[in-house]
Amino acid sequence: MSAGETNYPDHGDSPQLLLRRADIALDMARRHRYTHQRYLEGQDEHHLRQLTLIRDLQDAVSNGELWMAYQPKVNAMTGRVNQCEALMRWRHPSLGFIPPDEFIGLAERSGSIRMLSQWMLANVCAQLHAWKQQGYHLSIAVNLSASDVVDRQLSVHLTSLFERYQLNPAQLSIEVTESAVMQDVDAAMSTLLELNQLGLSIAIDDYGTGYSSLAQIKRLPVSELKIDKSFVLAIDSQKMI
């Protein structure tokens, strides 16, 4: 149970304005799992921006506003690039560049994340095919959301893409955050097992920020754990206790 609070006259001078701002405060309380949230100045603008982005995200794919950036991963032993991480980017026609941390979360809340994931996977597979035609044999790591890892059709969709672009499944690796897996461990395990059986490698991202244990992770077909940056920032200056 959550509650949003507004006060007269600090937050408005009409019942309509006070109720609207109470709804905004309530929405924030629910999203952050607070029992109570008082309206804060500026939340109107923030709420309006979120509504605009959620609405415009529906047409971002068809309008060609999204693109994929590829961040190379370099082998420290050889100095060669053997894999890239796929990163989705969005340039809004009027608001400019929208950080992925902002629009991915909104896509998950609004139910648009599956549409974005399917667009991303198709583009990544097309890029792998293009590189292969040019003689570059690389693999790409993609990030999946909590909705993706419980999608029972994900392996079917990926199999179709591999056949269309004549790819080896080993050219694609999956990264999923620890918190996404922990939302529904059994469903996530079923999906990840199917992907692993296809030949994809799987990594747990941001490990250490959730509530999983190594025993839980051991149940998953995981080949890599990516420790959250909070554990390694300033590691050279921290004292061991």
The rounded distance, in Å, linking the Cα atoms of 7 and 5 is 7
Instruction: Return the pLDDT at 241.
Output: 52
Three-class SS of residue 121? helix
Buried b (16+ CB within 10 A) or exposed e, 20-40: bbbebbbbbbeeeeeeebebe
Domains of the chain: 64-231 (3.20.20.450)
pLDDT digits (tens, 9 = 90+) for 132-141: 999 988 899 9
Angle at 194 between CA 74 and CA 108, to 5 degrees: 75
Q: How confident is the model at residue 169 (pLDDT cuts 50, 70, 90)?
A: very high
pLDDT digits (tens, 9 = 90+) for 180-216: 887 888 888 899 999 999 999 998 877 766 555 566 6
Instruction: Return the pLDDT at 139.
Output: 93
Three-class SS of residue 138? coil
Q: How confident is the model at residue 167 (pLDDT cuts 50, 70, 90)?
A: very high
Pairing of strands 81-92, 36-38: unpaired
Buried b (16+ CB within 10 A) or exposed e, 144-166: bbbbbbbbeebbebbeebbeebe
In this prediction the pTM is 0.77
